Structure 1
Amino acid sequence: MWQAMARAGETSDWQAPELARYATGNALTTITRSLYADHFNHVVSKGAPRNNPAVTAVDPPDAPTTIRLSDCGDSTNWLQYKEGTNELVDNSPGGHRRIYAEVKKQADATWKVEQFAVEGLGSC
Structure 2
Amino acid sequence: MAPRCTPGRYRRMGWLASGLLYVAVAVVVVSCSSGGDSEPSPGPVASTGGARSSPATSVSPSPTSPADAAGQRAIAAYVGLWKAMAEASHTSNWQSPDLVRYASGSALQVLSGSLYADHLNGFVSRGEPVLHPQVTSVSPSEAPTTVMLSDCADSTNWLQYRTDGTLVDDEPGGRRLVTSEVRLHEDGSWRVTRFAVEDLGSC
TM norm structure 2: 0.60
**Runs of 4+ that moved beyond 6 A:** none
Kindly state the Cα deviation for residue 123 of structure 1 after the two structures are TM-superposed. 1.1
The aligned residue for residue 120 of structure 2 is: 40
Secondary structure at the aligned position of 2:108 is classed as helix
Query: Which runs of 5 or more residues in structure 1 are unaligned?
Result: none
1:86 & 1:70 partners in 2: Cα distance? Answer: 33
The aligned residue for residue 123 of structure 1 is: 202
| Identity fraction in percent | 56
Matched, 1:110 2:189: yes
Secondary structure at the aligned position of 2:196 is classed as strand
The structure with the largest helix share of the pair is 2
2:150 & 2:131 partners in 1: Cα distance? Answer: 10
The aligned residue for residue 86 of structure 2 is: 6
Matched, 1:56 2:136: yes
Q: Which has the larger radius of gyration?
A: 2
Query: Which runs of 5 or more residues in structure 2 are unaligned?
Result: 1-80
1:18 & 1:97 partners in 2: Cα distance? Answer: 24
Kindly state the Cα deviation for residue 86 of structure 1 after the two structures are TM-superposed. 2.4
Q: What is the CA RMSD across the aligned residues, in angstroms?
A: 0.7
The structure with the largest strand share of the pair is 1
The aligned residue for residue 26 of structure 1 is: 106
Task: Please give the per-residue CA displacement for 1:72-117, whole angstroms capped at 9, x wherever unaligned.
Answer: 000000000002x321102112000000000000101110000011
Matched, 1:87 2:166: yes
Paired residues in the alignment total 123
Amino acid paired to 1:97: R
